[in-house]
Chain A
């Protein structure tokens, strides 16, 4: 069953698994840890921009769907063993 919020947001047409770490993979890892597909879904659900670290633009904090906050480190968090778990969506 799809809700009104899910219907209004754009749906991805393709998904690939990450093969090696990159800034893009790091970004996807942080969103997916908080329970979102990517930034597009975060924006449509929370109606807000994600807070980012000023020096490298990585995600700093995200509000989860239950209203709690997840905080992320300044540096890389996605370890090599977590890379294949990351899903990269294409619209």
Chain B
């Protein structure tokens, strides 16, 4: 086997390049291979772990139910598309069945699933009242799955839903405190995801799509509505969070 030095003399092209100031870049060897144990081996650093990388969400139960026509919602193909027409009064719906299913659809990014999941959750939270509280334990896994996709659009929607959830009924904020361990790790990862645009305009602020700001708002809503144990539990999962009530 020839070393890098002998190769340099054998190849006149490389020598010429060196003369004019080009440096020969030695290929890096991946770590933990035989090449990496060679005397003049240059070992590559560890690859990125991908903590911020969006992950694929599998097919959701929401999509299956929607395509099967199991939801009591009417499809409308007109232009005023910001409302759902419910076939049944929301008050008569079984929240234990439907609310977790709609939350499951928060992972969706394509139309029409994304719209119906988002708007369905909104309507059910707005009009659920006391029926929401008993369903909270069933909502945690869909919320965790949605946040775990780390997809910008999905995380933004889920954060807005969480803000709505804590104010939707009495005691919901307190009921979420035991589940902070499932919800808050992703918020901790993205808490500082703010655009450093210098003195330029960050348009995502106006559209409420700035993840860092949304996380701060969400944590403050959790603290305000989570009772006296909320702050210490948030602080445990998100150490950089500072109280909006104690200071």
Contact = CB atoms under 8 A, between A and B. Distances in A.
B83 A73 contact: no
Contact of B85 (A60, A68, A73, A74): A68
Given A33-B80, A60-B127, A61-B127, A71 B87 contact: no
Q: How large is the interface on A (under 10, 10 to 19, 20 to 34, 35 or more residues)?
A: 10 to 19
A75 to B, nearest CB: 10
Interface string B24-60: 0000000000000000000000000000000000000
B32 to A, nearest CB: 57
B127 A71 contact: yes
A70 B85 contact: yes
A62 to B, nearest CB: 10
Interface in B66-89: 74, 80, 83-89
A14 B112 CA distance: 40
Nearest to B87: A68
Contacts of B80: 33
A54 B123 CA distance: 17
Nearest to B123: A71
A81 B158 CA distance: 27
Given A60-B127, A61-B127, A70 B89 contact: no
B126 interface: yes
Interface residues of B, number: 13
Contacts of A89: none
B214 to A, nearest CB: 19
Contacts of B88: 69
B142 to A, nearest CB: 21
Nearest to A60: B127
Contacts of B89: 61, 69
B196 to A, nearest CB: 31
Contacts of B85: 64, 66, 68-70
Contacts of A60: 127
Contacts of A70: 83, 85-86
B149 to A, nearest CB: 27
Interface of A: 33, 60-61, 64, 66-71, 73-74
Given A68-B74, A70-B86, A71-B123, 10 more contacts: A61-B90, A61-B127, A66-B74, A68-B85, A69-B87, A69-B88, A69-B89, A71-B83, A71-B86, A74-B126
9 closest A-B pairs by beta carbon, nearest first, are: A68-B85, A69-B86, A71-B123, A68-B74, A71-B127, A69-B89, A68-B87, A70-B83, A73-B126
